[in-house]
């Protein structure tokens, strides 16, 4: 792995984990007090025991259905359907909307705010048929036809496989159940796999429009001065982390790395989080507390490495020309050419000025790749004060983002 990729991987891991694990005042690091983790409190049975519908949807008076779909490489994914709003209505042909979460979280993330503030319920109450995806490896999608999640073989995938297998499987179940083209809403990694898929002409025959919140395609401007320390510290832990196929933010290897980093003289992990991820402006304290109880979720270490390679949007780089030739027939991994996304596909992009993961300069590169897109089919929204998590948990996201999303979706019903 090159120094640049190592740097990006360190910064990516820290930025995503710290935005999840370091949100004052609900988390106690206590490096000198012998504790490192979330403050624990009494909780009901974990959602994985009862399912997402029972844990977070039915309790609010909405109908909800659980579906399972098996990808063509054997992963068994959980998908939830909220077919209508609390008061029903909307007719028999409600437009389906598929919602895809980002990395290190699952579908629960969309449902942590109160019903009047979270996107799935708002969409349902506005007449849409809402479907929630859960990526392989997360708690609701942690099964396989043959492989054991406790074994490394289960975790031998990156976001390439999400493009090739997970996204087509979830699109397939929605399309088969509704018989209608699909509106797609993705956040973070959910935008990357969509862009890559559409660039290869995948799924566009089943797609009505796409909404991309905090879009990530290029990650070349994610670095900060504090990242230098992160990269230096990461060198000592890279072997340990790469030896673990499952990248579990709650696991010992990751926790020890963060613990050692936060113990460095002069390093304030709260400041580090803000510097690496952007300071979320608009999160409710109780929602953050629910988030800390619910997340983070596992992904594969290979997926994290692939994300760190995104100076260009390309398939996984095996770091060796011979290995790349073995997998792709060429020495370098093939590029996903985003300019090949159909120019008449309706797209809505929303990004924030404080987001260090979806940095506005990198979004600028994405927009440049879309420069030949039909102007009347590309809507772009910029919110100066928003950072990465505000788009899914911000208390004012309904007013600033979701209302605009609904207006956009209705334009293409």
Alpha-carbon distances, residue 74 vs 132, 144, 177, 189 (angstroms): 20, 5, 21, 21
For Cα atoms 399, 185, 121, give the angle at the middle one, nearest 5 degrees: 55
State how far the alpha carbon of 76 is from the alpha carbons of 84, 302, 318, in Å: 25, 19, 26
> Is 41 an annotated catalytic residue?
no
- CB atoms closer than 10 angstroms to residue 179: 9
Alpha helices of 51-115 — where are they, by DSSP H? 52
Active site includes 125? no
CB contact at 8 A, 57 and 84: no
The sign one gets for the Cα dihedral 158, 160, 161, 162 is positive
Q: Angle CA(166)–CA(167)–CA(170) in degrees, nearest 5?
A: 85
Quote the tokens at residue 271. Answer: 């400041």
Cβ(403)–Cβ(396) under 8 Å? no
Radius of gyration of the chain (CA): 20
The active-site residue out of 355, 359, 362, 390 is: 355
Q: Is 92 a catalytic residue?
A: no
Which CB contacts under 8 angstroms, 24+ apart, belong to 263-271? Answer: 263/31, 264/229, 264/233, 267/229, 269/18, 269/22, 269/29, 270/22, 270/24, 271/226
Q: For 291, what's the count of Cα atoms within 13 Å in the CB-facing half-sphere?
A: 27
The DSSP annotation for 189-237 comes to HHHHHHHHHHHTT-SGGGEEEEEEES--S--TT---THHHHHHHHHHTT
The helix (H) or strand (E) run that includes residue 4 is helix 3-21
Q: Is the Cβ–Cβ distance between 366 and 336 less than 8 Å?
A: no
Q: Cα separation of 224 and 124, whole Å?
A: 40
Angle, in degrees to the nearest 10, between helices 167-178 and 189-199: 80
Please state, in angstroms and rounded to a whole number, the distance separating the CA atoms of residues 386 and 383.
Answer: 6
Q: Are 159 and 303 in contact (CB under 8 A)?
A: yes
Give me the catalytic one of 15, 78, 188, 358. Answer: 188
- Active-site annotation holder among 160, 187, 388, 390: 388
Q: Return the active site residues.
A: 188, 355, 388
């Amino acid at each position: 792995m090159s120094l640049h990729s190592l740097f990006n991987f360190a910064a990516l891991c820290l930025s995503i984990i710290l935005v999840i694990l370091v949100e004052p005042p609900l988390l106690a690091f206590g490096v000198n007090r012998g504790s490192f983790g979330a403050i624990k409190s009494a909780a009901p049975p974990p959602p994985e025991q009862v399912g997402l519908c029972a844990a977070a949807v039915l309790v609010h008076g909405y109908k909800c259905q659980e579906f399972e779909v098996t990808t063509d490489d054997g992963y068994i994914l959980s998908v939830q359907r909220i077919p209508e709003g609390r008061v029903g209505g909307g007719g028999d042909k409600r437009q389906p909307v598929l919602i895809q979460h980002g990395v290190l979280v699952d579908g629960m993330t969309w449902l942590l705010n109160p019903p009047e503030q979270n996107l799935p319920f708002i969409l349902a109450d506005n007449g849409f048929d809402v479907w929630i995806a859960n990526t392989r490896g997360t708690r609701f999608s942690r099964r396989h036809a043959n492989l054991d999640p406790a074994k490394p073989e289960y975790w031998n995938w990156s976001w390439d496989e999400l493009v090739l297998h997970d996204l087509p499987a979830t699109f397939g179940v929605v399309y088969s159940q509704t018989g209608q083209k699909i509106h797609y809403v993705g956040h973070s990694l959910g935008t990357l796999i969509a862009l890559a898929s559409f660039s290869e002409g995948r799924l566009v025959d089943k797609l009505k429009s796409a909404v991309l919140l905090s879009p990530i395609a290029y990650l070349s401007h994610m670095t900060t001065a504090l990242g230098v320390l992160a990269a230096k510290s990461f060198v000592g832990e890279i072997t340990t982390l790469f030896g673990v196929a499952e990248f579990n933010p709650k696991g010992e290897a990751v926790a020890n790395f963060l613990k050692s980093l936060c113990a460095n003289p002069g390093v304030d992990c709260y400041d580090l989080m803000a510097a690496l991820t952007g300071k979320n402006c608009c999160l409710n304290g109780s929602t953050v507390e629910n988030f800390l109880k619910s997340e983070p979720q596992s992904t594969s270490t290979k997926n994290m490495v692939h994300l760190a390679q995104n100076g260009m949007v390309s398939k996984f780089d095996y770091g060796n020309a011979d290995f790349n030739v073995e997998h792709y027939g060429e020495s370098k991994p093939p590029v996903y050419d985003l300019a090949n996304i159909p120019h008449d596909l309706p797209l809505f992009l929303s990004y924030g000025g404080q987001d260090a993961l979806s940095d506005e300069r990198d979004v600028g590169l994405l927009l440049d790749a879309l420069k030949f897109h039909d102007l009347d089919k590309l809507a772009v929204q910029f919110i100066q004060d928003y950072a990465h998590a505000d788009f899914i948990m911000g208390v004012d996201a309904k007013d600033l983002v979701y209302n605009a999303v609904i207006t956009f979706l209705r334009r293409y019903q």
